Amino acid sequence: MNPRVYDEKKYDSAIVSYKRVLILNPNNIEALTALGYVYQLTNEYDSSIISYKQALQINPYSPPIFYNLGLAYVHQQKYASAYTAFTEAIRINPEYAEAHYLLGCLYSLQHDKDNALVEYKKLQPLDENMAKKLLDIINAK
């Protein structure tokens, strides 16, 4: 997909294009993942979740798909589901800094400072700047 589609916010066009690809090849993981992403950009989180789950049926070992699924759940305030998705992304790739960061944010949001600090400590060697941002969030609570 042309990156200009995102830059120019031609999301409807992108959705139509990805759906056309999926008609021809329902197992096209790139199209499913991109469709999920566009749905997130348009705040269509239920559709986003469906796309990501379909992509995970094809490739259940993709940390970025689990991460994006977790983001969609966060937007819906389905924190238990987001926790599960971020944890799975980390299980597959323990060095997935973004997933540690958002998991730490989730813990902090739920006033679980101890587990938030555990994620902070895991994040420190992976991305110092992201770790500092997480610590600031934890300390602001």
Q: The CATH number of the domain where 18 resides is what?
A: 1.25.40.10
d(CA 56, CA 102): 20
Q: Are 49 and 109 within one domain?
A: no
Give the model confidence (pLDDT) of 69-119 as tens digits: 999 999 999 999 999 999 999 999 999 999 999 999 999 999 999 999 999
SS3 content of the chain, % helix, strand, coil (to 5): 80, 0, 20
Q: What domain count does the chain have? A: 2
The two tokens of residue 63 are 């940390």
User: Do 134 and 77 fall into the same domain?
Assistant: no
Q: Say how many Å lie between the first and final Cα of the chain, rounded.
A: 41
**111/133 same-domain check:** yes
Contact 73, 79 (CB under 8 A): yes
pLDDT score of 1 more than 60:
no
Contact status, residue 63 vs residue 87, Cβ threshold 8 Å: no
Contacts of 95 (CB under 8 A, 6+ apart): 126
Domain span holding position 115: 97-141
pLDDT at 2 over 90: no
Q: Are residues 78 and 137 in the same domain?
A: no
Average pLDDT of the residues in 59-70: 97
Of all residues in the chain, what percent carry a pLDDT higher than 90? 89
Determine which of 8-17, 29-38, 70-79, 117-126 has the lowest per-residue pLDDT on average.
8-17
Same domain, 119 and 60: no
